[in-house]
Amino acid sequence: MAKSGDPTYFGAHLADIAAPPRTAEEATPVAIIGGGLAGMTLALALRQHGIGARIFDARPRGAARHDPRALALSHGSQQTFAWLGLWPQIAAAATPIVSIHVSQRGGFGRTRITAAEQDVPALGQVVAAGHIAAVLDTALAAAGIEYHEHTRIDCVNMDADTGRVWLRDDRGDARDSARLVIYAEGAVDAAHADAATQTRTRDYGQHALVCEARTSTPHHGTAYERFTAQGPLALLPCGAADNFSVVYTCSPDEARRLLSLDDAAFLAALQAHFGLGQRLRFVAATPRHVFPLGLRYRRSPIGPRRVWLGNAAQTLHPVAGQGFNLALRDIRDLARVLTGSPDPGARATLQRYANTRRIDRAGTIGFTDGIVRLFSNDLPLLREGRGLALLALDLLPPLRGLVARRMMYGTRDG
């Protein structure tokens, strides 16, 4: 049996409204609400398995091409895109991570995880989210997958007698019927009817300031994860040989202050916050953007003829870069579980998917949350504990390998 590291492994609100008449020819097996990265990737993965899908997105088509984030794709995610036949196009604008330098500011302990030690070409690849979106959108068009833009689905009605789900837009017009509805739009919806029992949240009291910064020396494929009392500072090699994507975690007040600074003052603040002597010297920065951070996830990613996917299922802190990588693993397994099922929305089928994803999903959520809570404060005992943990990572190659495999593949072996 193939392992997950092998590409061959990939094998709403309910409303009491009358459903309009539809013919069997008009129905689709799967309706995907949300045309972002997760929704587009899922549609292509389902097509790879011979399963029809339609996408409905409230935004204009192509909006995801303007996403300013840089994403660190794990080695496992690279294999997912290779399975879809899209990795060459994505790789054209990717920057490989060949080592990760991990340390804490104001305390002892540091370690370095390398691709050579893990026997992989790269630990991950940094790619602009907008570039990935452009590749996916082009592939959707080439595959002839239906994409309904400017269509906000506000009402989902399940017909228990026929096993169909009927979708209506925000004007009350009937849009489609499907056997299964996938929510892949935006963050976890705290306003959803079952949010009180299904949604778990944690406010970290942090914002992420993101930008790109140029340094006076090349990065040589090294990423930096620098833990500070305010939160982690991540630097990802991105694009040019002297360019980094910066994720600067701090308090909301500090984020507002940093936004107000001119470029010279911001670069000085970034330099002081990063520390590490003159290992890197920042010389230029792009415009900055700020996003609030927190943890929000659904206890179960499934419901009656419904699946929540990507940020709609779990919105994670970016500290370990696991959000989109987890979504890709969800997509891979969902497509595999639905293959050959005569009814993609059947309860047993969806439960099998949830069971398949339970350990990896819970482990990744817990891993990310644990890092944030352990490394985002300055209590002396925790600071010493962090130092000992980093020292142990540095001294014990098997432990480094365990952490690296989790980052590359989730809970499965690579």
Q: Which residues pair with residue 155 across a beta bridge?
A: 168
Round to whole Å and give the CA distance between 233 and 315: 19
Please compute the mean of the pLDDT values over residues 5-34 and round it to a whole number.
51
Q: Is residue 256 part of a domain?
A: no
Residue 384 pLDDT class (50, 70, 90 cuts) = low
Output the CA–CA distances (angstroms, integers) from residue 163 to 226, 324, 329, 344, in the order listed.
51, 31, 27, 10
Number of domains forming the structure of the chain: 1
Element (H, E) at 361: helix 347-375
Ranges assigned E (strand) in 34-94: 53-56, 70-74
Round to whole Å and give the CA distance between 360 and 337: 16
Q: For residue 296, how far is the Cα from the chain centroid?
A: 13
Q: Is residue 253 part of a domain?
A: no
> Could you tell me if 263 and 284 are in contact, meaning their C-beta atoms sit under 8 angstroms apart?
yes
Q: Which residues pair with residue 210 across a beta bridge?
A: 247, 289
Please state, as a whole number, how many other Cβ atoms lie within 10 Å of the Cβ of residue 320: 23
- pTM of the predicted model as reported, rounded to 2 decimal places: 0.84
Round to whole Å and give the CA distance between 310 and 316: 10
Q: Is residue 2 part of a domain?
A: no
User: 198-228: per-residue pLDDT in tens?
Assistant: 888 888 899 999 999 999 999 999 999 888 8
**pLDDT for 1 beyond 70:** no
Q: Is residue 242 part of a domain?
A: no
Q: Is residue 381 part of a domain?
A: yes
Q: Is residue 380 part of a domain?
A: yes
| Beta strands at 124-128 and 110-114: parallel, antiparallel or unpaired | unpaired
**pLDDT for 152 beyond 60:** yes
Please compute the mean of the pLDDT values over residues 115-131 and round it to a whole number.
90
Q: Is residue 117 part of a domain?
A: yes
Look at residue 76 in the predicted model and tell me its pLDDT.
Answer: 87
**pLDDT for 5 beyond 50:** no
What's the Rg (C-alpha) of the chain?
22
Domain housing 132: 7-200+293-409
Output the CA–CA distances (angstroms, integers) from residue 282 to 213, 268, 278, 322, in the order listed.
7, 8, 10, 26
Query: What are 283's two structure tokens?
Result: 């010389």
User: 232-291: per-residue pLDDT in tens?
Assistant: 899 999 988 999 999 999 999 999 999 999 999 999 999 999 986 667 899 999 999 999
Round to whole Å and give the CA distance between 242 and 221: 10
Q: What is the domain-level CATH number for residue 297?
A: 3.50.50.60
| More confident position, 300 or 385 | 300
> In degrees rounded to 5, what are phi and psi of residue 160?
-65, -30
Q: Is residue 393 part of a domain?
A: yes
> Could you tell me if 254 and 321 are in contact, meaning their C-beta atoms sit under 8 angstroms apart?
no
User: 351-365: per-residue pLDDT in tens?
Assistant: 999 999 999 999 999
Round to whole Å and give the CA distance between 52 and 31: 9
